[in-house]
Amino acid sequence: MLCQECEEREASLHFTKIINGEKTEVHLCGVCAKDKGDYLPGGKSFSIHQLLSGLLDSGQGKQTKQEGTRQARQRRPELKCGTCGMTYRRFAEVGRFGCADCYEQFDEKLDPVFQRIHGSTQHTGKVPKRKGEDMHVYRELESLRQQMQQKIEEEEFEEAASLRDKIRGLEESLKEKGGGAS
Amino acid sequence: MTLRSFMQEAVSPWMKNEGPDADIVISTRIRLARNLENVPFPLVAAEEQLQSVYTGTADHFDQRSHRRFGTFSMLPMQSLAGNEKRILVEKHLISPNLARENQHRGVLLSEDESISIMVNEEDHFRTQCLLSGLQLEEGLKAANTIDDWMESKLDLAFDERRGYLTSCPTNVGTGLRSSVMMHLPGLVITNQLNRIIPAINQLGLVVRGIYGEGSEALGSLYQISNQKTLGNAEEDIIKDLKHVVTQLIQHERDARRQLQEHSLNQLEDRVYRSYGILSYSRRMESKEAMERLSDVRLGIDLGILPEVGAEILNELMVMTQPGFLQQYAGMSLEAEERDQRRAALIRERLLMETTQEESDGGGDE
Ligand SMILES: [Zn+2]
Ligand SMILES: [Zn+2]
């Protein structure tokens, strides 16, 4: 979303200001936020959620100036989850997804978010048994392929060949299962 | 009635002071965040969706028996009294957030309370395994077993790339928060902990005081937990945490030895003063209780107070909380009254230690 002050740059600071019980939502870009020094972090008005939402939104601040101005003229339709109705903007504010499908719907913006929070974008842990039977095989395959590449580079061709056979075997078993199950 | 037995049987397994390194590690907690595939997360879900999650869960698991963990019972938040919820919070079985809710919220508890599953908290399910001492691998194994059991009956939200999908982006992936509660008086007294904490933070782990506000840690009790949930396998997350905790245990033991060797008189004075105050005072704020209990526990661990059992810290830090005091008194109490009751309960508990000692001749049962 655009900065409410200059209406030109992407807003990167989002928070709720409360004055005399009146709530006002404030959305500013870094430049305008600096001008209005009182909004800058360090003030006590920032809650963890506000900080988190700043973090979440930073994923979209990387566009070029050109894109920024194009967007200013013609507002891009907002990212919205069709299943639960959550918008990306709301997600950035509250720091919570609405449903499992939000992950898919907001996908284009999530890599930098996860990278910042977790230093990673890809799950490598537990896979549920029922749902992920095949995933175990895919992961095994991935690891075998890497090993095979390694062996080829090291010119250990005999070992590479035996890894290749293993890979073929697994691929076959996947095919058979896919054919039988669907 | 099961509810009553849950409430009156005050001591959960994690308070029993058993398990590896129980002289320093009070408890180990493993938590898995899980959600259903086709229902919006609780913060967004409509009334009837929350209800369907709740009743569906109850249908599958309430009064059902698991071969390893026994029968599970669902406690609906709606039908619990305020103080009953408070006690569940004080026993670390539910979160304060869940206790604030009523409709369509609940907790599934295993018979021995080592497993609790919060339903419709921030996520549809928060499965927790709480054990005494340092038992990260055992805790993860238990939590995984329950997770598999749930997954056999429910369609959980899972994505190949992102893993288990959660309401908050900080939990996605494994949904795993593993944490260890440690008693670190040696490092606190010798002023070493403040130096160590930043180093631990750099490893992606969080250290925080368990009781008290902000950075203040009452009773030298700290919780160390992993922060990142995406990118590493569960076993690796646990291994990293265990590595750091093991080192901390070593540092704490060294610090205690230092104190014994170089300032035994001050140490004994501190322990006996606190023991005396706990044994005789007529008013006790929870803050002071926590500090004194920590001193006494240190004295027990170092052999200064051989006649007192080590589990008093674990027990009393829970049972001197407002909910338990009120339960014990059978009525609601003002802060002032609580301070009196707290002092009385601690005196009574300490007396139990010494009289038991006399009656059974010092044998440990
Ligand atoms: Zn601006
Ligand atoms: Zn959604």
Taking alpha carbons only, the member of B131, B72, B146 closest to residue B107 is B72
Q: Report strand pairing: B70-76 vs B65-66.
A: antiparallel
Tokens (6 digits) for B349 = 């508990």
Angle between helices A133-153 and A157-181 (to 10 degrees): 160
Question: Is the Cβ–Cβ distance between B311 and B17 less than 8 Å?
Answer: yes
Q: How many CB atoms lie within 10 A of CB A45?
A: 13
pTM above threshold 0.95:
no
A130 vs A76, residue with greater confidence: A130
Which of A53-67, B29-43, B45-59 is predicted with the least confidence, judged by mean pLDDT? A53-67
d(CA B94, CA B38): 25
Domain ranges of chain A: 1-46, 55-118, 133-177
With CA atoms as reference, the chain A residue closest to B153 would be A130
With CA atoms as reference, the chain B residue closest to A120 would be B231
d(CA B12, CA B14): 5
d(CA B238, CA B31): 12
Element (H, E) at A41: none
Instruction: Kindly report the three-state secondary structure assignment for every residue of chain B.
Output: CHHHHHHHCCCCHHHCCCCCCCCCEEEEEEEEEECECCCCCCCCCCHHHHHHHHHHHHHHHCCCEECCCEEEEEEEHHHCCHHHHHHHHHCCCCCHHHHCCCCCCEEEEECCCCEEEEECCCCCEEEEEEEECCCHHHHHHHHHHHHHHHHCCCCECEECCCEECCCCCCCCECCEEEEEEEECHHHHHCCCHHHHHHHHHHCCEEEEECCCCCCCCHHHEEEEEECCCCCCCHHHHHHHHHHHHHHHHHHHHHHHHHHHHHCHHHHHHHHHHHHHHHHHCCCCCHHHHHHHHHHHHHHHHCCCCCCCCCHHHHHHHHHCCHHHHHHHHCCCCCHHHHHHHHHHHHHHHHHHHHHHHHHCCCCCC
Q: Confidence class of residue B363 from pLDDT cuts 50, 70 and 90?
A: very low
Q: Confidence class of residue B116 from pLDDT cuts 50, 70 and 90?
A: very high
Which of B165, B169, B234 faces A117 most closely, judged by CB atoms?
B169
Question: pLDDT digits over A133-161, tens only?
Answer: 666 777 778 888 888 888 888 888 888 88
Question: Is the Cβ–Cβ distance between A145 and A165 less than 8 Å?
Answer: no
B2 vs B347, residue with greater confidence: B347
- Cβ distance B229 to A118 less than 8 Å, yes or no, reads yes
Question: Which residue, chain included where needed, has tokens 């390194």?
Answer: B21
ipTM metric: 0.87
Substitution target from B145, B161, B239 for chain A, most A beta carbons within 10 A: B161
CA of A9 to the centre of ligand 2 (A): 27
Question: pLDDT digits over A72-90, tens only?
Answer: 445 567 899 999 999 999 9
Q: Report strand pairing: B25-34 vs B163-164.
A: unpaired
Question: Which residue, chain included where needed, has tokens 């939502």?
Answer: A25
Res B58 pLDDT > 80: yes
The residues near A12 (Cβ < 8 Å, ≥ 6 apart) are A28, A29, A30, A33, A54, A57, A58, A61
CA of B157 to the centre of ligand 2 (A): 12
Q: Confidence class of residue A3 from pLDDT cuts 50, 70 and 90?
A: confident
Strand partners, B206: B225
CA of A100 to the centre of ligand 2 (A): 6
With CA atoms as reference, the chain A residue closest to B235 would be A125
Kindly list the distances between the CA atom of residue A119 and the CA atoms of A111, A116, B85, B204, B230, in Å, as whole numbers in the listed order: 10, 6, 37, 10, 8
Question: Is the Cβ–Cβ distance between A46 and A71 less than 8 Å?
Answer: no
Average pLDDT over residues B100-115: 94
Q: Which ligand is nearest to the CA of A79?
A: 2
Question: Is the Cβ–Cβ distance between B241 and B180 less than 8 Å?
Answer: yes
With CA atoms as reference, the chain B residue closest to A136 would be B160
d(CA B144, CA B228): 18
Question: Is the Cβ–Cβ distance between B171 and B32 less than 8 Å?
Answer: no
| Burial of B358 (C-beta count, 10 Å sphere; 0-12/13-18/19+) | exposed
Kindly list the distances between the CA atom of residue B275 and the CA atoms of B297, B304, B346, in Å, as whole numbers in the listed order: 9, 11, 10
| pLDDT value for B16 | 78
- Cβ distance B148 to A129 less than 8 Å, yes or no, reads yes
| pLDDT value for B104 | 96
With CA atoms as reference, the chain B residue closest to A139 would be B160
Strand partners, B89: none
Question: Is the Cβ–Cβ distance between A111 and A104 less than 8 Å?
Answer: no
Q: What is the DSSP letter of A26?
A: E
Which of B156, B228, B237 faces A128 most closely, judged by CB atoms?
B156
CA B327 to chain A, closest CA, distance in angstroms equals 35
Strand partners, A13: A28
Residues on chain B bordering chain A, Cβ-to-Cβ distance under 8 angstroms: 35, 37-41, 43-44, 122, 144, 147-148, 151-152, 155-170, 172-174, 176, 204, 228-234, 237
d(CA A179, CA B10): 56
- Cβ distance B230 to A100 less than 8 Å, yes or no, reads no
Three-state DSSP class for residue A177: helix
Average pLDDT over residues B126-148: 97
| pLDDT value for A35 | 60
CA of A105 to the centre of ligand 1 (A): 27
Tell me how long chain B is. Answer: 365
With CA atoms as reference, the chain B residue closest to A83 would be B40
Three-state DSSP class for residue A19: strand
Tokens (6 digits) for B179 = 């944490």
- Cβ distance A132 to B167 less than 8 Å, yes or no, reads no
Q: Which residues of A touch B204 (CB under 8 A)?
A: 119
Question: pLDDT digits over B282-321, tens only?
Answer: 999 999 999 999 999 999 999 999 888 888 888 888 889 9
Percentage, residues of chain B above pLDDT 70? 93
Question: Which residue, chain included where needed, has tokens 């990673």?
Answer: A120
Question: pLDDT digits over B144-179, tens only?
Answer: 999 999 999 999 999 999 999 999 999 999 999 999
d(CA A14, CA A29): 9
B270 phi and psi angles, rounded to 5 deg: -60, -45
- Cβ distance B44 to A126 less than 8 Å, yes or no, reads no
Q: Confidence class of residue B215 from pLDDT cuts 50, 70 and 90?
A: low
| pLDDT value for A41 | 38
Q: Which residues of A touch B155 (CB under 8 A)?
A: 131
Q: Which ligand is nearest to the CA of A102?
A: 2
Three-state DSSP class for residue A181: helix
- Cβ distance A120 to B122 less than 8 Å, yes or no, reads no
Question: Is the Cβ–Cβ distance between B83 and B332 less than 8 Å?
Answer: yes
| pLDDT value for B147 | 97
Q: What is the DSSP letter of A125?
A: S
Q: Which residues of B touch A122 (CB under 8 A)?
A: 161-162, 230-231
d(CA B187, CA B249): 10
Q: B104-127 burial, b for 16+ CB within 10 Å, e for fewer?
A: bbbbbbbbebbbbbbbbbbbbbbb
Q: Which residues of B touch A96 (CB under 8 A)?
A: 41, 43-44, 122, 167-168
Q: Which residues of A touch B162 (CB under 8 A)?
A: 103, 110, 114, 122-123
Which of A52, A103, A125 faces B233 most closely, judged by CB atoms?
A125
Res B273 pLDDT > 90: yes
Which of B165-169, B204-208, B228-232, B265-269 is predicted with the least confidence, judged by mean pLDDT? B204-208
| pLDDT value for B244 | 96
CA of A6 to the centre of ligand 1 (A): 4
Q: Which ligand is nearest to the CA of B37?
A: 2
Average pLDDT over residues B22-43: 96
Q: Which ligand is nearest to the CA of A101?
A: 2
Q: Confidence class of residue B191 from pLDDT cuts 50, 70 and 90?
A: very high
CA B277 to chain A, closest CA, distance in angstroms equals 39
